[in-house]
Amino acid sequence: MSISSNPQPLECFLSKLGPLEAILFDVDGTLCDSDPIHFFAVRELLQKIGFNDGIPITEEFSLKNMVGKNIEEIALALFPEWNHEKVMKFFDDKDSLFRRLAPEQLKEINGLSKFCKWIADRGLKRAAVTNSPRPNAELMISCVGLSDFFQEVVIGDECERSKPYPDPYLTALRRLKASPGHTLIFEDTATGIRAGVAAGMPVIGVVGRSSDKKSLIEAGAKFLIEDYEDPKLWIALQELDKGALNMSWKGSI
């Protein structure tokens, strides 16, 4: 299923959410292009411990075994014999290396600042919802200049269950006091999309370097965009603005 094969234009779909109340974002790969930094950090640490006889892992290996997965799933694929303590030590070290590299290397997804200004200008509620550890999430949000933008930052491990379960997104809805029928989610992985769909909200898939369009659609994404400069998105937002203006005029008559 391709984007163009969807019989309903994005603007028609978004109009059904009006009045739009809230926007929820994943962080890794959705707000910022963090995958290359994560990949470098994991590859370096795996080489240090002699994984795969010291042969560096490839991006294809990372996509298959790590991207979009939680720690338990990754550990099962990479270190099935390791105990919990050893697994957590490895990922703590990886996250420490990631945080050292991120401030100089992390870049926002194209068009993010423009889109966030659109959201803020209209007074929409907003939250970041991620499976990343809080120190990572808060650093990434800071690196793209959005520390004061988000009203809530929901961490999967701080909920009863993390993505792909709906708990993090349901937590964000509750904290924002927003309705699922008037809230939109942006995600870049099948895991996150399944979480949003399970929480009863429509999800737009952001096609990043690690995204597979087919898997995003199969996970339940209503539409896909290349980034936040995608013309389809801005046509839809302009239509939303027109609809809000028309409602305002009707209310004043």
Taking the C-alpha atoms of residue 89 and residue 106, their distance in angstroms, rounded to an integer, is: 24
Q: Distance between CA 14 and CA 183 in Å, rounded?
A: 10
d(CA 11, CA 154): 28
3-state helix, strand, coil in the chain (%, to 5): 55, 10, 35
In sequence order, the β-bridge partners of residue 200 are none
153 bridge partner residues: 128
Describe the strand order of the beta sheet including 203-206 as a list of residue ranges. Answer: 152-155, 125-130, 22-25, 183-187, 203-206, 223-225
Surface-to-core class of residue 111, CB atoms within 10 Å of its CB (0-12 exposed, 13-18 middle, 19+ buried)? middle
Task: Give catalytic residue positions.
Answer: 26, 28
